[in-house]
Amino acid sequence: MTSNPLRDPRDRRIPRVAGPCVLVLFGVTGDLAGKKLLPAIYDLANRGLLPPGFSLVGFARRDWEDEDFAKITHDAIKAHSRTPFREAVWQQVSEGVRFVPGEFADDAAFDRLAQTVRQLDAERGTGGNYAFYLSIPPKAFPQVVGQLKRSGLSTPHVRPDGHLPWRRVVIEKPFGHDLASARELNAMLDAVFPESSIFRIDHYLGKETVQNILALRFANTLWEPIWNRGYVDHVQITMAEDIGIGGRAGYYDGIGAARDVIQNHLLQLLALTAMEEPVSFDASALRLEKEKTLSAVKIPEDLAVGTARGQYAAGWQGGIKVQGFLEEDGIPLDSITETYAAVRLEVDTRRWAGVPFYLRTGKRLPSRMTELALMFQRAPHLPFAATDTGELGQNALVIRVQPDEGITVRFGSKVPGSAMEVRDVNMDFAYGESFTESSPEAYERLLLDVLIGDPPLFPRQEEVELSWRILDPIEDFWATHGKPEQYPAGTAGPASADALIARDGRAWRRL
């Protein structure tokens, strides 16, 4: 198609808008759909980013009519949308809402689904473009993908106007539970959808702060000279949660903290921090640099001292008495699933040789926070008396991913007074408040990218496989070497994690 004369790169006001399409959502009764996906669809519509005629089809094992699903959608939007509720916008969204009841095994249900989307093409001009969002347990993927193929939904046909519609499939983590299963999953998807139309959502990559890592690093001159082993002493990447596993026992048992968080979120953060500058910000260049970095990650030689894991025991978290992991409903008493994982990685490149990257994540920790901290080396010489700098720590650059998104720079400053005394102070950048229309939720950004077909923020299969290559030996070691250490809920993790970093003469940042 020829380029659109109304679009001009200088015209920064006009946003990217998705073309006509249908979003087919599997798993509409799930938590994610209610809290994030349906509200995100409304917020996109409210910001004028969805095309006229955009339609949403829900598929689930419920005896619902279109109106029932519309009601569920309406309630989810009212409760969780970020932007104000406007009747006209809701009208626009609700006109395109359809529901198809059925089981994943039921051929007739998928035939009805195919009929429904074709009808939407005719009634609402959605142009035969379909995105399938699989917000369902991974074990159901093969069945659903198989049904999409069988019913012909996955195969686009050339339209009367000569235009070939697109098909996209969206999946959520976990992308397998090890390298072999990740490959299996991919082979199954790949048989039906080409790699370019598979969108793997890691919602961390949709966050403003995470995208800002790229801006911070590659739009400034300030950081690049010190962003290397010459100045950086070590890097700490943390995702701490204060909650327990809640009702997710069925998913969590056997998966654990490392597979749930380190494999995707933390390794992606590591890749963005450690990678070299991509030649451009298009998807392939960006992913290439991330893949290079992930392929250079080295795990500890002695996994017994280079990794740590734990399970939360009963304790007090935030003033509330909570039960331990083994006492949670649905968790067997002899479970060796870890709820805390820490690992010391290195990146074998000229830039990072010898700089440890400490990754940790856990549940029932003192507070909820995700951050990425570059801890700098101490000054090689301090021309002050030792007592003057007793309270001077390491300089630090901290990217706070959530909550309280922003950047902190920590450095020493003179304490006012007649004596020369140097103490650490913070310089803070906080993101403009999130209650404005322009600062989108991660899922909004990612859904829009799916509908537009813009892939840079979605990890490619190679990245997934490289991440499993890093994690698999650690998981194998853990599976054969005893049980995770208990740590009381509300504390900062097991003693072995403290020992892991203390061995290098360093300490974890306070949670």
Partner 1 sequence: MMIDLTDTSTHAVRDALTRARDQMGGPTTGMVLNLIIMTDESAQYDAVRAATQAGREHPCRVLGVIARDPDAESRLDAEIRTGEGAPGQTVLLRMYGPMGLHADSVVTPLLVPDTPVVTWWPRNGPAVPSGDPLGMLAQRRVTDAASAPDPGEALVALAVGYRPGDTDLSWTRATPWRSLLAATLDQQHGEITGGSVTAEPRNPSADLIAAWLSGRLGAPFTRDVSGGPGITEVRFTTTDGDITITRPDGRTATLSRPDQPDRRVALHRRDTTDLLAEELRRLNPDEVYGEALTRFAAVTGR
Binding residues (CB under 8 A) for partner 1: these are 1, 4-8, 10-15, 17, 19-20, 45-46, 48, 50-53, 86, 88-89, 91-92, 95, 122-125, 127, 161, 163, 428-430, 432-433, 435-439
Could you give the CA distance from residue 80 to residue 89 in angstroms, rounded to a whole number?
Answer: 15
Comparison of 27 and 51: residue with beta carbon closer to partner 1: 51
Comparison of 119 and 143: residue with beta carbon closer to partner 1: 119
Comparison of 92 and 402: residue with beta carbon closer to partner 1: 92
Comparison of 7 and 510: residue with beta carbon closer to partner 1: 7
Q: At what angle do helices 208-218 and 267-274 cross, to 10 degrees?
A: 20
| Token output for 33 | 């759909």
Asked whether the beta carbons of 507 and 332 are under 8 A apart, the reply is: no
The DSSP bridge pattern shows strands 232-240 and 369-376 to be antiparallel
Rounded least distance, CB 422 to partner 1, Å = 21
The yes-or-no answer on residue 381 being catalytic is no
Q: At what angle do helices 38-46 and 442-452 cross, to 10 degrees?
A: 70
Comparison of 3 and 418: residue with beta carbon closer to partner 1: 3
Comparison of 45 and 365: residue with beta carbon closer to partner 1: 45
Comparison of 316 and 429: residue with beta carbon closer to partner 1: 429
What phi and psi values does residue 135 have, to the nearest 5 degrees? -90, 60
Comparison of 371 and 405: residue with beta carbon closer to partner 1: 405
Neighbouring C-beta atoms of residue 425, cutoff 10 Å: 12
Comparison of 161 and 301: residue with beta carbon closer to partner 1: 161
H/E element, 349: none
Rounded least distance, CB 53 to partner 1, Å = 4
Rounded least distance, CB 38 to partner 1, Å = 16
Residue in 332, 371, 319, 337 with CA at minimum distance from that of residue 489: 319
Neighbouring C-beta atoms of residue 139, cutoff 10 Å: 7
Task: Say which of 163, 265, 381, 481 is annotated catalytic.
Answer: 265
What phi and psi values does residue 437 have, to the nearest 5 degrees? -70, -20
Q: Give the amino acid at 243.
A: I
Comparison of 121 and 241: residue with beta carbon closer to partner 1: 121
DSSP string, 212-274: HHHHHHHS-SSSGGGSSTTTEEEEEEEEE-SS--TT-HHHHTTTHHIIIIIIIIIHHHHHHHH
Distance of CA 76 to the CA centre of its chain: 22
Rounded least distance, CB 440 to partner 1, Å = 12
Q: Go through the chain and tell me how many residues it has.
A: 511
Could you give the CA distance from residue 407 to residue 204 in angstroms, rounded to a whole number?
Answer: 16
| Token output for 195 | 């790699």
Rounded least distance, CB 442 to partner 1, Å = 18
Whether a cis peptide bond, with omega within 30° of 0, leads into 403 is yes
Asked whether the beta carbons of 281 and 214 are under 8 A apart, the reply is: yes
Could you give the CA distance from residue 365 to residue 257 in angstroms, rounded to a whole number?
Answer: 13
DSSP string, 403-466: SS-EEEEEEEEEPSSSS--EEEEEEEEEPPPS-STTS--HHHHHHHHHHHT--TTS--HHHHHH
Residue in 48, 175, 32 with CA at minimum distance from that of residue 448: 48
3-state secondary structure of 2: coil
Rounded least distance, CB 407 to partner 1, Å = 11
Could you give the CA distance from residue 495 to residue 504 in angstroms, rounded to a whole number?
Answer: 15
Rounded least distance, CB 166 to partner 1, Å = 13
Could you give the CA distance from residue 461 to residue 446 in angstroms, rounded to a whole number?
Answer: 17
| Token output for 107 | 């051929």
Which residues are catalytically annotated? Answer: 265
